[in-house]
Amino acid sequence: MKRLLQVNDRGIYCERADVYIDPWQPVQRALITHAHSDHARRGNGQYLCHHDTAPILTLRLGTDIRIQRVSYGEPIQINGVTFSFHPAGHILGSAQIRVAYKGEIWVVTGDYKLLNDGLSQPYEPVVCHHLITESTFGLPVYAFKSPFAVYKEIKDWWRENQQAGVNTVLLCYALGKAQSILNQLREETDVPILLHGAVANVNGALAARGYHFPGQWMETEPVTKAPKGALILAPPSALGSPWMRRMGNYRVALCSGWMQLRGARRRRGVDKGFVLSDHCDFRQLNEAIDLTGAEHIYVTHGYESQFTRWVREERGLPAEIMNTLYEDMELEEL
């Protein structure tokens, strides 16, 4: 008997409805959990996504793509299969996709987190029989504190650098973490907040949905002409680039779940590491299984083998690896 959802060479496929979820090869109809580049790729005939994801797809893939926009919880019927999008807590507009047919319910989480970051629509558990979950941080060593505690650490470090007369460079996702950090800095108006073009472009796209963030695009003039103590947000790819030479006297930090590991900051060659993630840690992955009541677990990108074994042996649930082409690393770029 065929499963309602299965993986082929193009992506996660629902044969009954003839649609794909986050396909990695071009298909006629693609349901998109969120707009990070490993989940939303070029070449599909039609894209179905949440309203907040649409402007980022247009930014990344072009204005000529066909997009159908949906709200959270809105049912979409395709050949007898009911699809609906539900908050994933990963980034703005990110969604878990619920797939239901004749009483059988699957949930594709995409990327997700249970901790509220103060900006992304908070994760909502969706009861199901079959749960497809990522495992980016699927080891017990990954245990993340509240994002609000990390935001305070970032502010304190920025103030410390201001007192030392140096600029602060934060390396973080252009889509996701950059906006959640900026959302917490709305009251910090005494010194400039400057943005790498990648971050500024995402902010500009999200403005169409009514989201506005502090900061201004860093144009061609070097930061040395700005007051000392500026905060500059840039994607991780900027590290070591000629662009960084414009920062004047600065200290640089990387915001990532990978900073949980001892030695990660040193290997990346940064002054500071903030453990800030848009993904579930090990506890959250297990909590999601509990909240959904899923009877069958399918594990995708990350520590697939380790987390699958944990679910089988320690939790006593049927679990298997679902091989996909999504990225394991949290340092992916928009």
Higher per-residue pLDDT: 222 or 146: 146
**Phi (first) and psi of residue 221, to 5 degrees:** -70, 140
Is the pTM above the cut of 0.85?
Answer: yes
User: Order of strands, edge to edge, in the sheet holding 216-217?
Assistant: 216-217, 193-195, 231-234, 167-171, 250-255, 272-274
Question: How far, in Å, CA of 207 to CA of 223, rounded?
Answer: 25
pLDDT 10s digits, 142-153: 999 999 999 999
**Beta-strand pair 130-135/296-302:** parallel
- Whole-number pLDDT of residue 333: 41
pLDDT 10s digits, 78-137: 999 999 999 999 999 999 999 999 999 999 999 999 999 999 999 999 999 999 999 999
Counting DSSP H helices and E strands in the chain, the numbers are 7, 19
**What domains appear along the chain, each with residue ranges and CATH number?**
6-142+278-321 (3.60.15.10), 147-274 (3.40.50.10710)
pLDDT 10s digits, 292-302: 999 999 999 99
Q: Is 110 exposed, middle or buried (CB count within 10 Å of its CB: 0-12, 13-18, 19+)?
A: buried
Beta carbons within 10 angstroms of residue 14's beta carbon = 24
Reported in sequence order, the residue ranges of 22-78 that DSSP labels E, i.e. its strands, are 29-31, 46-50, 67-70, 76-78
Q: Find the mean pLDDT for residues 256-261.
A: 92
- Whole-number pLDDT of residue 261: 87
